[in-house]
Structure 1
Amino acid sequence: MNILIIEDEIPAFKKLLAYVDKSLHSDFEYTHTRSVEAAIKSLKEKTYDLILSDIEIIGGMSFDIFESVKTATPIVFCTAYDEHLLKAFQTNGIAYVLKPYTQSDIDEALKKYKELFYVKFNEHHFFEQFKTLLDKKDTYKKRLVIKKREGIKLVNTKDICFVEAHGDFCKLKDVDNNLHAVSMSIGVLSKELNPDQFFRINRSYIINLDCIENIIPYSKNRLSIKVKGLPVLVKTSTSLTKEFRKWIDR
C-alpha cells in the first residue's frame, strides 16, 4: 500500500506517521511532501492508494494540488480548521480529521478507507504478496558452477540429492551418484537453494525432498532419514524436527 502524506509541520507529520504505522502494522510505504509544488511533482511521478493531507501547507492550499493534478486517489484530510469541510468532500475526500487527532481518529479514517475500497485494498495486497513470492523464488539458484580438473561442470540444483558440510566448503551428490565439491559453506549454500525443495535437517546436511527414500522414528524428537546416494542414515536435529515434519507435509 502506497500512501502520500502531505504535511508541512514536521512534528505533526511524525505524529501522523506513528498513528498510521500502528493502525496498518507497518504494511505500507509512504512519500512525505511539505509543499504544494512537491506534492504535485509526487502525484505526477507516482500512483498512490491513499492520500493523507493537511489543508494549509507551504505554497498554498492542498486543494491547489488536486486542481492541478487530477487523481482518483481517496483523500483523508487532517487539519486544524473545520471551515473547509464542504470543499474537502467536493474533491476525493473520504474523511475529515480535526487536529489534535488521536490514534482512534486515524484508525476510524483508515477503517473507512478499507471498507470503501475493500476490493482494491485486498487485490493490491494479494498482488504485492504474490509478486514478492515470485521475486523471491527467482533469486534461488537454478544451477551451480563447479570447478574440476577437467574443466567447469554445471550441476542443476534440482538434481542435487544432498549436501554435506566440510568446513568452509561442501560436498554434494547428484541423482547420477556423482560427487562434487563446492567452494562455499553449507550456511551460505542453504540460503541459495529453494526451501520448497531443500531442507537443512542439521548442521551438516541439506537434503532434497525428491531424494528421500525412507523416514524412520529415531527418538521422541528426532527422525532418521534414508537419502538416495547417501550410505548412512542422517538424523534431524531436535530443534528442527517439528519444522521438518511440517515441511514434508505441505
Structure 2
Amino acid sequence: MRILILEDEIPAYQKLVKYLDEYFGQGIAHDWSRSVAEGKSFLKSETYNVILSDIQLLDGISFDLFNEINVDCPIIFCSAHDEYLFQAFNTNGIAYILKPYSKGDFKKAIDKYESLFKQGQYNTLNSSTLNFLKSALQEEHIQYKKRFVIKRSKGIQLLNVSDISVIEASGDFCMATDIQGKKHPILQKISVLAEQLHPKKFFRINRSQIIHIEYIENIENHFKNRLLIKLKGVEEKVMTSSANTSDFRKWIEQ
C-alpha cells in the first residue's frame, strides 16, 4: 500500500498521517508534496494506491495537476471549500472530506473508495469533470448576496435570500415575497439585485420579476411562447416573457 498526500498545510498533513496510521497500521508508505510541481514529479516516477489531495497547494490547484497527468487510482479530496464545490463533488460521486474533518469522516471516505475500487466501480477523473470542478471553484469565490437588511418602522429585520420566493420591481425599489407570503421592501433596482443573486438559484423571468428555483411548484404552457409559474408563498402566478422563455427552460434543466 502506497499513498500520495498533496497538502500544503503541515498540521493538516500530520493529521492525515495520524488517521492513516490508525486505519491501516503504523508506518504506511507514503509520499508528501506541498506543491503542484513536486506532486507532478512524484506521479511521473511512482505508482500509488490512493491519493489524498487538498485543492489549493503552494503553487496552484491540484485540479491542474490531475488534468495534466492521468491518474488511475482513487483520489480523495480534503479541503475547506464548501457549498458549490461540495455539491460539485457529490454530483460526480467523488469522495470529499470537508475541513476540519474528523476521524469518522476520514474512515468513511477511505471505506467508500476501497469498496468501489475493489469492485471495479471507480471512475477515474477526466478533463470534463476536472473542468467542471474548476468552474465550481471559481464560482465559489464570487460572493453572492446571502441576506438583505430590511428597514421598518419598528427597527431593522434580516431577510435571508434562501427564503425569498419572488422579487418584483416597483419603480426604484423592489418587493420581495418570502415563502410565507410576507412582503419585504428592498431599496434597490431589480437590475442591481439580479447581479447580486446566485444565477443557479434565481432567474429573471421578465423585466420586473426574479424567481427562486427551489420554490417553483408548477409550470404551465401559456400563449405566445410564455410559461405560467406557481411559486410557494405567492398567490398569483408569474409569467415568463417570450424573449426569456427559451433561456428559462434551459436554466431549470441544469
TM-score (normalizing by structure 2): 0.48
TM-score (normalizing by structure 1): 0.49
